[in-house]
Chain A
């Protein structure tokens, strides 16, 4: 029976969705910015990795290890140079700026790389799998992605709860002004939040690129997955985001079992249902 397998695949996919969603959730929690270019950043990371692999001939895993920190730096710079300005430019500015960024990124990628779909070749690792039991096979890549996503989430959670800077990030999202009274430079705090967001979405994008194809225009759909995971899980909790990601992943997987064309729609409908009947999300409420 493929149903159990579908659930397992969905759970593993959920880790990836949660990783996508973390950055979105963090930026909204700390800065009240919904980054509409969030998905496109993942695609940029994929194309960057593709170009690096093609241009330098380095093995994929080295490129991955280089790209993620690079995106962290890019995130910090983007916040200090662009987003910080938008925060003081009026209520619509952040939305408009990130939307503009999304359009710019998509079309630059389109001009540079054309609309052809690509994949990141993960080699035999990406396509290999092992049997968990009779009907359930788990891909190495899928498992690695899930474990990596969980590790990242645990790491971020530890950073937020155990370190002074992490604590300040949480404090800034509660009350930016009082956090500045404690000596926190909000520009730096926001920069760190954006850096984490960019790094996680780059990682997620690269993992995704290895398991399915990508092209310049799929950014928005990634944004939508991230967004749905956050809403389903509930704002304000990383574990809620993981749960939301897994619910979305399982829903899509089960939908695909019924009819492959239903994959996306199934996820959207569950999202709408949560929105209709439990808008605060499944794991709602702010927790320390």
Chain B
């Protein structure tokens, strides 16, 4: 069942056309990874889905509802949560308080504070610590937990690997199957192509705001991905 449907979406970042006529569909329960070089429009796309950058044209339909121009603060209630680039934890709040901000809208669902603490066993011991004192990987986990507490149908993760050591990144991504298994669909933007290919059911490669390659990781060759990523050579769609 199609959860998210993006049609001909154009989003400007200042004067730059960061997302240019993008089309994309996301099925319920799958993990879709968006890859692409810097400036390809990946983060702008996520921000548009989260309501932080309103699109110039095109449409976004979520669970059958047109949310293109829905303000950011109403998207949580609609079932969309964003784990922002750079974690963006609240610096004057503790770990637990940060998590609880996610539950502000009290959306019903399987995720509770206790369940998030099960997902990240190290967290309960640090719950009263100030969020700013955590390491990058720990902050990333808290950011994910915070988004989960809003019981989203769609979880958007922006550049999880940014600023983190690969081994930490791998460890954080290990929780993803558990999240998806509990009923959340995930759309992630990832700089680390190999990591993205490892966790995703499907992959879209963006170049200059457009999707230039899409398919299942196992159906795409390294050469195809490379060409799409850098925009060189002929680009073909993978078998779907």
Contact = CB atoms under 8 A, between A and B. Distances in A.
**A–B direct contact (CB < 8 Å):** yes
A170 B93 contact: yes
Contact of A185 (B73, B90, B150): B73
A9 to B, nearest CB: 34
A124 interface: no
Interface in B80-130: 81-82, 84, 88, 90-94, 97, 100-105, 130
Given A170-B93, A288-B94, A178 B84 contact: yes
A181 B88 CA distance: 11
B94 A182 contact: no
B85 to A, nearest CB: 11
**Range of interface residues on A (Cβ < 8 Å):** 20 to 34
Given A178-B84, A183-B73, A168 B101 contact: yes
B101 A174 contact: no
Contact of B77 (A164, A167, A180, A183): A183
A174 B76 contact: no
Contact of B93 (A171, A177, A183): A171
B146 A288 contact: no
Interface string B61-83: 00000000001111111000110
A236 interface: yes
B50 interface: yes
B92 A182 contact: no
A287 B93 CA distance: 8
Contacts of A185: 71, 73
B52 interface: yes
- Most chain B beta-carbon neighbours within 10 Å: one of A171, A174, A178: A178
A206 to B, nearest CB: 31
B73 to A, nearest CB: 5
A164 B84 CA distance: 21
B52 A171 contact: no
A111 interface: no
A124 B146 CA distance: 55
Contact of B90 (A171, A180, A186): A171
Nearest to B156: A181
Chain B residues touching A, range = 20 to 34
A138 interface: no
A178 B47 CA distance: 11
A229 B208 CA distance: 53
A181 B156 CA distance: 11
A179 interface: yes
A181 B81 contact: yes
A247 B82 CA distance: 45
A184 interface: yes
A145 B139 CA distance: 43
Given A167-B97, A168-B101, A288-B130, A180 B92 contact: no
Given A177-B52, A288-B130, A182 B101 contact: yes
The residue in A168, A180, A181 that gathers the most chain B C-beta atoms within 10 A of its C-beta is A181
Interface of B: 50-52, 71-77, 81-82, 84, 88, 90-94, 97, 100-105, 130, 146, 150
13 contacts: A167-B100, A167-B101, A167-B104, A171-B90, A174-B91, A181-B50, A181-B81, A182-B76, A182-B105, A182-B146, A183-B104, A185-B73, A287-B92
The 6 closest A-B pairs by CB, nearest first: A183-B76, A183-B105, A178-B88, A174-B90, A171-B90, A180-B72
Given A167-B93, A288-B93, 11 more contacts: A164-B100, A179-B101, A180-B52, A180-B71, A180-B72, A181-B75, A181-B76, A182-B146, A184-B104, A286-B91, A288-B94
